[in-house]
Amino acid sequence: QLQLQESGPGLVKPSETLSLTCTVSGGSISSSSYYWGWIRQPPGKGLEWIGSIYYSGSTYYNPSLKSRVTISVDTSKNQFSLKLSSVTAADTAVYYCARHPHWDCSGGSCYSDYWGQGTLVTVSS
Amino acid sequence: AIRMTQSPSSFSASTGDRVTITCRASQGISSYLAWYQQKPGKAPKLLIYAASTLQSGVPSRFSGSGSGTDFTLTISCLQSEDFATYYCQQYYSYPPAFGPGTKVDIK
């Protein structure tokens, strides 16, 4: 059974960098069949796509966040990571990692068939 | 970027009801549409992809239809466990975009 688990600090100060890791178990992140990505949800609000990565390292970022986002993959640890720089209170959200079937993507745009449980990151001094 | 809208934003229904949720894209997205169910404090769960393909393990009372700009999610006989918020998502072009959600609660 595939499982994704987010980990990282739950509190980040304004202007600092948010860093999260997603550990994948029950499946290989090196599979050519999937992208792996991040999606966030501010408290009480809707879902926003952040970006995704292929095991080879190729990435897609949401243009609205592109200047601040870096997603990387560590195949040896079966993990991928998110860094979001210069955070403000507007970046407070539950951050989810997810898996995206590669064969059904359109130009890097995909749906998500497995999700982590999510982790709340609060930006506050 | 493609924008997604949903209607209604919320409504009340009873167990056993047939319910329909509508999703509209700001431009044509062929059949590149997914539906998710989210319960409070939980991650979204994929119900349907490619507008009408049921994800493995999802009950057959859920169905999806539509193409182009207009889509619907139908629950044929609402069960107690179906009270949740439902989101549509386009994956025709980058970036993928979600609708604002439709909350279904108990009448």
Task: Supply the pLDDT for residue A104.
Answer: 82
Q: Are B86 and B73 in contact (CB under 8 A)?
A: yes
Q: Under DSSP, is residue B82 helix (H, G, I), strand (E, B) or coil?
A: helix
- How far apart CA A99 and CA B84 sit, in angstroms, is 22
Residues of chain B with pLDDT under 70: none
Q: A87-124: string of b/e by CB count within 10 Å (b at 16+)?
A: beeebbbbbbbbbbbbeebbebbbbbbbbbebbebebe
Q: Is A61 exposed, middle or buried (0-12, 13-18, 19+ CB in 10 A)?
A: buried
Residue A105: predicted pLDDT: 85
CB contact under 8 A, B43 and A96: yes
Residue A103 binned pLDDT confidence (cut-offs 50, 70, 90): confident
Burial class of residue B107, CB neighbours in 10 A (0-12, 13-18, 19+): exposed
- Determine the pLDDT at residue A107: 80
pLDDT at A102 over 90: no
| Closest chain A C-alpha to B101 CA, distance in angstroms | 7
Interface check for B80 against chain A (CB to CB < 8 A): the answer is no
What pLDDT, on a 0 to 100 scale, did the predictor assign at position B105? 94
- Note the pLDDT tens digit of each residue in A37-96: 999 999 999 999 999 999 899 999 999 999 999 999 999 999 999 999 999 999 999 999
Residue A109 has a pLDDT of: 87
Q: Which amino acid is at A75?
A: T
Q: Give the pLDDT of residue A15.
A: 97
d(CA B55, CA B53): 6
Q: Do A113 and B45 touch (CB under 8 A)?
A: no
